[in-house]
């Protein structure tokens, strides 16, 4: 009886973790779709601040990682 309860709790945790991972992946896919075609125009995205920038228009006050 206790084994079944602990198994059910473990499965609930697994389902919760998988749902969170699914939401992260959905957000990432949406983000990548929005960038489609911008690579050809020379637009890059900062890995730290997640803002788009042109390499030629990058100034001193831009994010340090650009």
**Phi, psi values for residue 37, rounded to 5°:** 90, -20
What pTM did the predictor assign?
0.49
Angle at 28 between CA 19 and CA 46, to 5 degrees: 140
For 3-60, what is each residue's pLDDT tens digit? 999 999 999 999 999 999 999 999 888 887 776 766 556 677 777 787 777 777 776 6
What are the sequence ranges of the domains in the chain? 1-34, 39-66
pLDDT score, position 60: 60
């Amino acid at each position: 009886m206790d084994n079944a309860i602990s198994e059910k709790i473990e499965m609930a945790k697994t389902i919760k973790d998988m749902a969170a991972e699914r939401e992260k992946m959905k957000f990432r896919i949406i983000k990548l779709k929005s960038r489609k075609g911008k690579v050809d125009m020379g637009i890059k995205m900062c890995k730290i601040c997640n803002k788009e920038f042109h390499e030629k228009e990058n100034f001193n006050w831009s994010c340090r990682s650009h």
